[in-house]
Structure 1
């Protein structure tokens, strides 16, 4: 029986990237399901770490995930990272697993572990776009490079969540391709479904979208999310189709700087009255917004994966996304792909979907089919294959 020690402790910190938190919780639960079904896998979870190097390890994976997600008090990222560096080696020696999996890569243990360690890489955007990703957390370029190099070369094997991310690991950090496996993220295809719910109309009305054509944007709104491209595309599309009712609804827990960025871009493009910032929207409501949207516009400049693309496709929402990075890899021909730096191309895609019901239906059908490639089950099974490969490759 293969025993894997899975680190859940980042959930207590509230990851800096919410997508990492989703990845860690979803994958842990799916691996636990597979373990219970097959009987040839045992999943242990690190639920808590301490300042003195102790770790609380449990085989109640579901309970641990639920307890961590329900916590109100959140630990700081820096203190969490320190505790991982100190406590992870001790936890591995105590639990004696066949391997350890760290789904959040932002902490490197101070000492080598007594077993292989698998580390997930979600993206290397700070290295690919150093001028735009400069902040106190990322540090200077040289410091950033050294940190990432140490982080991923310290691991015995790296899971990349897309081919684009795997290519960046090789190009920017010289990680040998033999030590990288691509395992695409998965989503809950019951949660993200094209089947309408009785509450859909009420959800859209509560967000001020009842009876109005809208484009849906989901997630953060910093530089690489390209809010200015969305606003310029919206402005031109409204002129071309002569529909002043078309608006952008942006769902995401934006900070003040992000809200100002979007509002400023909208005002500059002349569409300030056509943008609604919805704030954080729970998944059940977000699915209803996907199902009612003319299209989702996700024209990011760079992504490690792109959860919103898969969510929208799974819900039967036509997708407009970028023809670069992981997005074209994830969507393939199930979306309209455009150059994110070309507002005219973004506008033309919006016009096509606003005017052509047949094209919307075609993309919706392709999207639902394409989303089946990104189930939680496939993510879990492919991760388990990586575990077996890593353990089987030990000398």
Structure 2
């Protein structure tokens, strides 16, 4: 009788702060991918992170979705060791990687793991992308750019493969970095069940930020996320005498929060968890997503799954994600964005058409498919199969996650 192959031993390197709820898109990806891999019968997975994250019960905090998984820790403080590795490539993680077939990071990290292969996820390269210099005018942004230019080549040098989430992000990485020796492979993103399930709930029964009709803007009031343009849409809605608000969820930048307080029809709701986000999406007339730069654009996918029409910018990865299932336009065309929101707020055949197209498109993006792609990469890296890694690096994300 043929014995089944031994499970692939995966050590998942985490910065737990990124995974604590409520999460951003990177944290959502990390939680979903690690969980999906851990649940595969052909994988045994444990976590690796700084010991400083452990509570008195020897586990991650209560708002860490991965706290039930087996774990290993290292002694150095996370922030110190991460900065040191990005600057110098040390300290080595070889001792902590021992016993694993492959080390996997669902977010950017320098993984000097010695003889154990390493696979790292890089979600975008916004900090150094030459197409967006206007967003790097502050001293803090310029310091971030210098740090990225220092450690980005080291990330590729330390990795047997780099994962990313969209074809657009892969193109930008290849253009910015000499990736000839490190395959860049697209695994995509998926949609959490809560955003599909909320569609069965009548909008009138959903929690909402206020009694008025609204478009939901996810990602916080931030310059790179289109804060100026989306506030202009709110002001235009007020100028036209509409009751429709633009509600911003996510962590705001102080500068834009102050502007929002002076902008009619703008509401800042701040960070919220997934369940409340699903309610807010389901009750919204539309989602407004005029970001200047996205590595993927997961909020648009979640809105479509919830049955909420999307009005999105037609830049970076967003057309790849939204396709013809939403209204894509120039981020600066705030008049057309206002027109689309008002059309969706009126209901009717146009709105229903986009709801159905959006639901169908979102269904193509699943965490199971993302995890399958990642599993193929991790297996190839563990077996030092360079030919398969090169083949996977040429596959486009044409069929969703």
Normalised-by-shorter TM-score class: 0.7 to 0.9
Residue 282 of structure 2 corresponds to 291
Residue 328 (structure 2) pairs with residue 322 (structure 1): no
CA shift, 1:342, in A, is 2.1
Give the 3-state SS of the residue equivalent to 2:30 in structure 1.
helix
Change (3 A) 1:17 1:195: closer
Residue 390 of structure 2 corresponds to none
Residue 155 (structure 2) pairs with residue 151 (structure 1): yes
Change (3 A) 1:76 1:328: farther
* Match for residue 353 of structure 1 among 339, 344, 347: 344
Residue 54 of structure 1 corresponds to none
Q: What is the rounded CA distance, in whole Å, between the counterparts of 1:18 and 1:375 in structure 2?
A: 18
CA shift, 1:50, in A, is 6.8
* Match for residue 297 of structure 2 among 281, 306, 309: 306
CA shift, 1:347, in A, is 2.3
Contact 2:13 2:49 in 1 (8 A): yes
Alignment of 1:46-85 (within 5 A): 46-49=48-51, 65-66=66-67, 78-79=79-80, 81-82=82-83, 85=90
Residue 101 of structure 1 corresponds to 104
Residue 31 of structure 1 corresponds to 37
Change (3 A) 1:42 1:303: same
Contact 2:92 2:113 in 1 (8 A): no
Residue 71 of structure 1 corresponds to none
Change (3 A) 1:343 1:173: same
Residue 116 of structure 2 corresponds to 115
Contact 1:122 1:160 in 2 (8 A): yes
Residue 178 (structure 2) pairs with residue 166 (structure 1): no
Q: What is the rounded CA distance, in whole Å, between the counterparts of 1:305 and 1:63 in structure 2?
A: 23
Change (3 A) 1:376 1:320: same
Q: CA RMSD in A?
A: 3.2
Change (3 A) 1:316 1:153: same
Give the 3-state SS of the residue equivalent to 1:203 in structure 2.
coil
Residue 89 of structure 1 corresponds to 94
Alignment of 1:263-282 (within 5 A): 263=261, 267=262, 272-282=263-273
Residue 188 of structure 1 corresponds to 192
Task: Figure out how many residues of one structure are paired with residues of the other and give that number.
Answer: 360
Contact 2:31 2:66 in 1 (8 A): yes
**Unmatched runs of 5 consecutive residues or more in structure 2:** 1-5, 70-75, 387-401
Give the 3-state SS of the residue equivalent to 1:287 in structure 2.
helix
**Unmatched runs of 5 consecutive residues or more in structure 1:** 52-56, 69-74
Residue 252 of structure 2 corresponds to 254
TM-score by length of 1: 0.81
Q: What is the rounded CA distance, in whole Å, between the counterparts of 1:252 and 1:304 in structure 2?
A: 17
Alignment of 1:228-239 (within 5 A): 228-237=228-237, 239=239
Give the 3-state SS of the residue equivalent to 1:249 in structure 2.
strand
Give the 3-state SS of the residue equivalent to 1:119 in structure 2.
strand
Q: What is the rounded CA distance, in whole Å, between the counterparts of 1:4 and 1:102 in structure 2?
A: 10
Please identify which structure carries the higher helix content. Answer: 1
